[in-house]
Structures are given as C-alpha cells and as structure tokens.
Structure 1
Amino acid sequence: MSELRIISTGDAARPVPKKHSRDPDRLAAALMLVGVAIAMVWANSPWAATYEEFWALPIGMSVGGFDVSFTMHAVVNEGLMTLFFFLVGLEVKRELTIGELTDRSRALLPIGAAVAGLIVPALVFVLFNLGGAEADAWGVVISTDTAFLLGALAIIAPKYPSRLRIFLLTLAVVDDIGALLVIGLFYNNGLAAVPLLVAIVLMGLLALVRFLPAGRGLSYTLLGAGLWIAVLLAGIHPTLAGVAVALLIPVFPPRRTDVERAAELTRAFRESPNPAYAAAVTRSLRDSLSINERVDAAWRPYISFGVLPIFALANAGVHLDPETIRDAVTSPVAWGIVVGLVVGKFVGITGATALLRALGRGQLAPGLGLNRVAGGAALSGIGFTISLFLVPIAIDDPHTQNIARVAVLTASVLAFLIGWAVLVVGDRIRPPRPVGAKLMRPFDPERDHFRGDIAARFEIVEYGDFECPFCSRATGSVDTVLEYFGDEVRWVWRHFPLDVPHPHAQEAAQAAEAAGLQGRFFEMAVTLFANQDRLEASDLCMYAARLGLDPERFMEDFQSPRVIRRITDDRLDAELMDLSGTPTFFVNGKRHIGPYDSASLIRALEASRAH
C-alpha cells in the first residue's frame, strides 16, 4: 500500500497580499540607467567638453583664513557617496547583529560564495595585467552593485524569486564588507598619524553616543562630520567614515517594554486626543525601533533614487571615440575587467556554492537550485557603482580610466544578458514544480511541530494562521481525524500568517514559536485560537505567564532572528507553492481541494487505503 499525502484549501480561504518589493528595485535600477544614458549622450554630444568642465567646477568655502574647495565630481564621489556607504554600513551592521549572518550554518553558503566572488575576479584581473602598470587596479572587479543586481532580478522576474533574492542579499552584504576592507587597506594615500589618532578618538565618542539621554541624532551628525574630515586628512578615502559611523550605531529588535509603552500611549491618545499625548506617542514609536532601522528607512529612498543616479551621471560619461574603442579592445585592463566581472564572478560564486554543497558544508534553501544560483552569480558581474567609484582611485592615467569605464559598462551589460539567459533557459530546462500540486518540503521531525506518531503511514500538513477563524474551526476537524485514525496519521502545523486581513497573525506565530522553545507550542496554539480577538503584545505576554513560561526568555525568543526566520521559511514555502489562503491542507503530499471538515478528510484518507 503506497503512502498518500493530501493538501486541501478551504473554500473560504482569503487571498494572500503580495509584497511589491520588486517595484522600488526596478525604479532604482531604472533611474541609474537614466543617469548612465544622460551621461553617455552628454559626453558624446557636440557639447561633450561641457561634461568634463561641469564636473570639474570648483566649489569652495572660506572662513577667516581657512579655505577649502572641492570639484563637483569630488562632491559626488567623496561627499554624497559617503551617504551611500553609510547605508551599506547600516545594512552590514543589521545583518551581523540580528539578520541572516547571525546564523553561521544558514549563512555559510552565501558567505563562501561571496568570498570566492571577491577573490576569483581579482585573480583573473591580475593574470591579464601581470607585470603591467595597472596590476594594482584589481579592486575595480571585486564588488557587485547591489542596487543593479536586485533591479536586474526584478526586471527578469523569474517565478518564485524570494529564496534567490535572500541568497543574493546575504552574498551582497559579505561582498560589501570585502569591498570596504579593500578600499580602506589597499587604496589609501598613505596614513597621517595625527588625523588618524583624532579619527580613532572620534570613533570612541561615537560609540558612547548611544548612552546619551537625548540629542543622539545631532551628536551622531556632528561627530560623523568631524570623522569625515579626520579620515580625509589621514589619507583614507573619506567615504569610509560613513561606514564607521554606521557600524557604531546600535541595532536591536523591538524591546517589549518600548512596544508596551507605545501601545499604552496610543490607547491614551485614542481615549483623550491632545497634543501632549500625540507627541508622547510619536516619541515612543520612534524609540521602540533602533536608530539603525529608523535612519535606513528614512534615508534609503534618497540614496536609491537620488544619490546613485547622480553618481551614475557623474561617472558614466565615457567619450566613445574610435581611439578609445580601439584601445579598449586591445587593452589588458579592459579584458581583465570584463573577464573578471563576467566570468570571475560567475565561476567564483557558482563554483564555491557547488563545492561547499558537495563537501556537506551547507545546503541551499528549499526551492533554490544550483541553476538559480548560477543565474544570480552571472548577474553579480554587474559591478557598476563601486567599480566606477574605484576607477579614478586605482588608475592614474585619464585615458586608461576611460578605457576602464568602457569595460565596466560593457561587463555590466554582458552580466545582465548572461544572467537573464541562465535564469530563463535554466527554468525551461528544469521548470519549477507544478504550482501547489505537491508539498514542497517533506516532513522533518527535527523541525516541524506535529501531533501523532512520528512513523505514521498517513500525514496531514496544515499551513495556517492563528488569527484566521477558519483555521480555528479546522482544528476541531483535525482532532476528530486524529481520534479516528489513531497512530496511523500524523498532523503537522506550518505558519502562513496573512498580514493584511490578520494584522496580529505574525506576532501570534512568533509567540507560538517562542513557547515552543520552552516545550509548550501546542498549548500556546490552543490559547491563541481561543483568544483570536485578543492578540496584542500584552495579551501574548499574559498567555505566556499563564502557561508558566519564563517571561524574559519568552520575550527574548519572541523577537529573536531564529524565530523570525522559522516563520519566514514557512511563508516562502507557501509562496513557492502559490498558496492563496488559510487553512491549506496537504495529505501525504497532495493538495486536497474542497471541504476540510473531518468527514471529508477521513474519506480522503480512507480512499488512500486502496492504493
């Protein structure tokens, strides 16, 4: 008798809200492309001379006997790009502290792939330029442009891209760390001792700002500006001051006391609206999130839609005369850049991923195959921003700089086309599974929450939501099925919180997982279903206390990256199977369409006995 697994979708299932995270990625990439296009047209128009003249315009300031001046190009590359690197630093700090890079086993594959993606392109460039005057310019080929990478992925729009996007984001963070270290260690102008000492003192003061009772934002701004000047005078590229400030800004998950305080003030404002309560609510909401996350959310649109397009406009204006094109075709610098970015990134990332998997050092997330990784690796050859940023730093000769810019732009176009081909052709050769017809991830007794015998012949997997009334009713159906079949059936619960119709479902799932880490998952689940109209943070804490859970450990686990990732994994499974509502049942791996009352589920399982 063969095993059968059934999946059912309730007739009253609600639609799943789609997140439009691709739209900002597309818009950011589109604006950068507009900047590139304008720069190219301007630099090759009858008014080409004005392009260089404009970016060479001096901007100065004089205070008493102190004079300082920068060109427009320096304002962009050393001033505005400090904000870009500041944002990169915020992301790096967040991932290292509460994100993907906190879990070594989970991050091992993208970390290893990123390191190989840094080393292999550099080696390829050096091989092409061995003994040449520009051999030290290998830094131009090491870094991936995260904005263009995600924009390209959004434009190609392969089916179910979330797992690949998370893999590439983790890889990009490590890639950014490597690029920042390279800039700081290998591309400085020699270190001046006194300004460097001042910079170290300022960094110490920045680390202490978090302890100030007020004025932290202003303090970070003033000390950050001082650090930028000190780093510039020390001979280090000043954009790294942005990274240093970001790494010294604390990041933490929302704290229970802050969230509860915000809820109390919100209730008070609702009962008695007045300016004092409004100001208090605003402050409490602000303080419940770390400065890292607040600044990132506030500044990211300006960086993505403003600074980066301006950077593209200032750096992509390559004069494509016959001499430059001819020299680029025969230049070892150009070939080193193109082959390093296009081939080196692809071979390094794909090869390292395959090798680590073969050695048993890591596993790809369910639904993410090596063909998808290869497509992402090809797209990683888009090295636009940091590559163009490093060209004038790593290469002295203006004509060679022009050749290098041509090579970077060429490599970026080739990387996009190859990535598109690998993803599209790969999906045709190995198409995604039929959507929703089969359970994507099999039962894992070490991971899954289940009731029944671990070795049962039959299995019901439910994707549900603790705030969904239909899931609550379905629990009674499951109880009846378990009672009817006894040890022959196993029931497995997986999370599928629907955020828009059920705004408390995510936190309820976190509460269940936090209780599960103290051995009380199903007790908390029963409590949540019985109190679906009372799922505020304070309610969840009260339920944990009633169950006798350690309150401090409960809140620590409730907001831990481990718990968040667990729920996110179940969400991504649901996306891959294109589930549209809750509850959705899988019995022995096949989707059950129709009623999910106990009689229907029992009939389905009885029918499987004949197979």
Structure 2
Amino acid sequence: MKVTHLFEDFFHSEKAAGLVLMACTILSLLLANSGASAGYLHFWHLEFSGHSVSHWINDGLMAIFFLLVGLELEREVYIGELSSLKNALLPVVAALGGMLVPAGFHFLFNRGTDTQAGAGIPMATDIAFALAALSLLGKRVPNSLKIFLTALAVIDDLGAILVIAIFYTGSVAWMNLIAALSVYGALLLLNRLKVRNLIPYLIGGAVMWYFMLHSGIHATIAGVLTAFAIPFGNGDEKSTSFILQRFLHRPIAFGVLPLFALANTAVVLPNDWVHSLVEANSLGIFTGLFLGKPLGIFVFSLGSSLIGITRLPSDLKWTHILGTGFLGGIGFTMSIFITFLAFNKDAIIDQSKIVILISSLLAGVAGFFLLNIWVKPETVGVDSTRTPSTQYDND
C-alpha cells in the first residue's frame, strides 16, 4: 500500500502531538493535586470579556481545532484514504461499530438516570493519543494499519461532530442560527465564485462562530462548516485548503490541544474518588471505552468482511484489528469535550474526566501490548487463517 508524504507528515506530527498531550495531562493532574492547586485552578476560572479562560479555550480555541478537523476530513474524502470506496468501507464500518457499541454500553448502565446524556462520551477516539501509542511500536507497524487507525479516528471525529450537533443542542435561538447559516451560504457562494483568498473565509468563519455561539448550537460546529466552505481545488500545495491546513497543524497540535489538556484535566481527586468508579456513569464510560470500542470495531469489521461488504488488507490480520480497537478506546479530547456538553454539574464532570483518563490509559496500554505481541516483522503479510473473501492486494 502506497503512503503519501502528506500522510507520513500527518502521522509523525500526530505522534509528537500525542506525546505532548500525555506530558500536559500528567503535569496538570500533578499541579491540581499539589500545594499549588488553589492558584492553578483559579487561573482557569479567571474572567476575560465575560467568560473564563477555560470557557474561551473550550468554545473559542476548540473551534479552530474543529476547523482543522474539517479540513482533514475534506482532504481524506477528496484525495485521501477515504476517497476510494475499497479503502474507505472497512474503517467506516469499524468506526460505526466503535461508536454504536460504546454508546450502547453506557446507555445500558444509565438508562432512565440523570447521567443518560453521557452516552456520547465513549464514542470518540483521540487521534493524537492513538497514533502516538501506535508509533511506539516502531517501523514494524504495517502502513495499512496506520492508515486504518487514522481513517477510523477521522471518521470518529465526524461522528462526534454529528452527535454534538444533533444530541447536544439545547434550545435554539433561531434568528442567530439563521444569521450563522446565512454567513455560511455567503462563504459557499465565494467558493462557487472561485475566490481563493483566505481572508474573507476566515472573517466569515469568525462571524459565523459568533452567531453560532449565541444560537444554542455549539459554536465549534462553525469551525467544521468553515472548513468545507474553503476551496479545496485539486488539493495540491498551492490550494487554499492545503495552505490553511499546513499553517494550522502545528499551532493546534502543540498549542490549542495542550492548552485544552491543561485546562480540562485540572481535576482535584477527592478522597473517595475510587468509590465513584463503580457508579453507573463511571461504569458506562469505562465499559464503553475499554470494552465497547474494541468489541464494536472488531465485530463490525469481521462481520462486514464475512458477508462480503468489506475486505481486510493483505498485510493485516484480525488480531491487528482487535489490538487497534483497544487504541480506539483512547477517548480523551473528544470524550472530555462531550462531557461538558452532556452534564452541568461539576461533580459529575470531574468524575467523568477521571474515568475517561483511567479508561483511555488502560485501553492504550492494552492496545500497545497486544499489538506488540501480534505485530511482528516476520509475520506481517497475508494471514492464511483468513477466509478468501478477506484478502486483496493494495495496489
């Protein structure tokens, strides 16, 4: 399977970003539970223009993160790993299972309770953390496995965006929503008129974000909409979309996401935090991420292959898919983000963050050790135990 330079750059950048996120998470937890806790927590609650620092990060800077997610989704669909139906079907089906089964686990534990709204929390995969964990295995990882995990996480991001837009929207202020969509329509018109200058798109995106913020629909959706309004062209290095994506990648990977990690993992562990791990919400998040993710990804992938809908790349085994499914259980960024939308009580939010961190850590460790056993240079190739319908050549 051929791997483009853009994909290689993306993979290595996400790997580095994941390591930075790990460091920020550990640092934030240590500071929040140290003698500097009061000052550290106070900083994130400082008011600026009517909103706290953490609020500006979650609703403002994260909109830029979603802009990048939208640009990456656009590239994958047009010329990337999702542009070919043959390559796209397996990660699409796997991602579907990786969203539905974890949500089902959480719903099973929390049906009819105040924490039922948290069903979306275990649905997402943190692409930076997942790729960082996979990268620790070195060059023996098949390229098709890197692409499978990347595509899976990208599709997960799209699923999370849809979940936010559909299920985590409160009362709608229709005038503001109409204003936001009108701006979006104007941006699409600029695209049709072949306007390539980035400035009007960025200004329009900022205006759309403002109206979306006051519409009742989460403002970060404006980032995704802006991305799909920006001209893609042929996707080469001179295209408007590519220029913006290349510009945003490092500031977001090494600026926005670390800030998000610092602000949202500043959790003071209560004395009884261990007891909260057996509450319904905690069990739902844990089983969703640690069990539901690998189970959903593996079963949906295998099932779709057996009935002939998808095919497994010739250099992969089903054990590779199972191990990667555990890496899909690293929720972190999107899981924490959805937590804020699902709950409005600080105690439940903090409890959810703790479980997300524990679940993501255990899922990542399990995925790494399983793949470390199953991914071996001398065994990478066609698996003789697969059914003939699951084998194909990746030209």
TM-score normalized with structure 2 length: 0.91
Q: Equivalent of 2:289, from 332, 337, 341?
A: 341
Query: In structure 2, what is the Cα distance between the partners aligned to 1:339 and 1:24?
Result: 30
Partner residue, 1:297: 246
Partner residue, 1:313: 262
Q: Which amino acid aligns with 1:321?
A: P
Partner residue, 2:161: 180
Partner residue, 1:272: none
Q: Equivalent of 1:424, from 365, 372, 388?
A: 372
Q: Equivalent of 1:24, from 13, 38, 50?
A: 13
Q: Is the 8 A contact 2:289 2:331 kept in 1?
A: yes
Q: Which amino acid aligns with 2:113?
A: G
1:317 Cα deviation after fit:
1.4
Partner residue, 1:361: 309
Q: Is the 8 A contact 2:235 2:242 kept in 1?
A: no
Q: Which amino acid aligns with 1:49?
A: A
1:56-75 matches, cutoff 5 A: 56-60=45-49, 69-75=50-56
1:41 Cα deviation after fit:
0.9
Q: Equivalent of 1:112, from 81, 93, 97?
A: 93
1:313 Cα deviation after fit:
0.2
Q: Equivalent of 2:26, from 37, 51, 62?
A: 37
User: Which 10-residue stretch deviates more, 211-220 or 392-401?
Assistant: 211-220
User: Which 10-residue stretch deviates more, 155-164 or 406-415?
Assistant: 155-164
Residues 478-503 of structure 1, C-alpha deviations (whole Å, 9 max, x = no match): xxxxxxxxxxxxxxxxxxxxxxxxxx
Query: In structure 2, what is the Cα distance between the partners aligned to 1:241 and 1:52?
Result: 29
Query: In structure 2, what is the Cα distance between the partners aligned to 1:417 and 1:297?
Result: 31
1:452-601 matches, cutoff 5 A: 569-570=394-395
What SS does structure 2 have at the residue aligned with 1:31? helix
Gaps of 5+ in 2: 1-7, 385-391
Larger relative helix fraction: 2
Evaluate the alpha carbon distance shift between residue 169 and residue 435 of structure 1 in structure 2; reply closer, same or farther with a 3 A threshold: closer
RMSD over aligned Cα atoms: 2.2
The answer to whether residue 174 in structure 2 is matched with residue 193 in structure 1 is yes
1:158 Cα deviation after fit:
6.2
1:20 Cα deviation after fit:
7.2
Q: Is the 8 A contact 2:75 2:235 kept in 1?
A: no
Q: Is the 8 A contact 1:209 1:216 kept in 2?
A: no
The answer to whether residue 390 in structure 2 is matched with residue 390 in structure 1 is no
Q: Is the 8 A contact 2:142 2:315 kept in 1?
A: no
Q: Is the 8 A contact 1:98 1:252 kept in 2?
A: no
What SS does structure 2 have at the residue aligned with 1:131? coil
1:47 Cα deviation after fit:
2.4
The answer to whether residue 324 in structure 2 is matched with residue 376 in structure 1 is yes
1:330 Cα deviation after fit:
2.3
The answer to whether residue 36 in structure 2 is matched with residue 55 in structure 1 is no
The answer to whether residue 144 in structure 2 is matched with residue 163 in structure 1 is yes
1:22 Cα deviation after fit:
5.4
1:215 Cα deviation after fit:
7.1
1:104 Cα deviation after fit:
2.0
Query: In structure 2, what is the Cα distance between the partners aligned to 1:160 and 1:388?
Result: 29
User: Which 10-residue stretch deviates more, 25-34 or 122-131?
Assistant: 25-34
Residues 156-182 of structure 1, C-alpha deviations (whole Å, 9 max, x = no match): 336133110111111122111110000
Gaps of 5+ in 1: 1-18, 61-68, 256-287, 441-447, 449-565, 571-611
Partner residue, 1:237: 218
Q: Equivalent of 1:86, from 67, 79, 83?
A: 67
Partner residue, 1:151: 132
Residues 448-486 of structure 1, C-alpha deviations (whole Å, 9 max, x = no match): 9xxxxxxxxxxxxxxxxxxxxxxxxxxxxxxxxxxxxxx
Q: Which amino acid aligns with 2:305?
A: R
Q: Equivalent of 2:355, from 399, 404, 407?
A: 407
Query: In structure 1, what is the Cα distance between the partners aligned to 2:235 and 2:35?
Result: 56
Q: Is the 8 A contact 1:158 1:423 kept in 2?
A: no
Query: In structure 2, what is the Cα distance between the partners aligned to 1:201 and 1:170?
Result: 32
1:213 Cα deviation after fit:
6.9
Partner residue, 2:57: 76
TM-score normalized with structure 1 length: 0.59
1:354 Cα deviation after fit:
0.7
Percent of aligned pairs sharing the same letter: 35
Evaluate the alpha carbon distance shift between residue 234 and residue 322 of structure 1 in structure 2; reply closer, same or farther with a 3 A threshold: same
Q: Which amino acid aligns with 2:169?
A: N
Larger relative strand fraction: 1
1:116 Cα deviation after fit:
0.8
Q: Which amino acid aligns with 2:29?
A: M
1:105 Cα deviation after fit:
2.8
Q: Is the 8 A contact 2:100 2:123 kept in 1?
A: yes
Evaluate the alpha carbon distance shift between residue 435 and residue 411 of structure 1 in structure 2; reply closer, same or farther with a 3 A threshold: closer
Evaluate the alpha carbon distance shift between residue 172 and residue 22 of structure 1 in structure 2; reply closer, same or farther with a 3 A threshold: closer
Evaluate the alpha carbon distance shift between residue 156 and residue 215 of structure 1 in structure 2; reply closer, same or farther with a 3 A threshold: closer
Partner residue, 1:433: 378
Q: Is the 8 A contact 1:158 1:424 kept in 2?
A: no
Partner residue, 2:109: 128
1:321 Cα deviation after fit:
2.5
Evaluate the alpha carbon distance shift between residue 90 and residue 346 of structure 1 in structure 2; reply closer, same or farther with a 3 A threshold: same
1:99 Cα deviation after fit:
2.3
Query: In structure 2, what is the Cα distance between the partners aligned to 1:254 and 1:188?
Result: 33
- Provide the aligned length of Structure 1 versus Structure 2: 380
What SS does structure 2 have at the residue aligned with 1:117? helix
Evaluate the alpha carbon distance shift between residue 369 and residue 252 of structure 1 in structure 2; reply closer, same or farther with a 3 A threshold: farther
Larger radius of gyration: 1
What SS does structure 1 have at the residue aligned with 2:190? helix
What SS does structure 2 have at the residue aligned with 1:317? coil
1:153 Cα deviation after fit:
0.6
Query: In structure 1, what is the Cα distance between the partners aligned to 2:307 and 2:259?
Result: 45
What SS does structure 1 have at the residue aligned with 2:51? strand
Q: Is the 8 A contact 2:92 2:155 kept in 1?
A: yes
Partner residue, 2:207: 226
Partner residue, 1:202: 183
Partner residue, 1:554: none
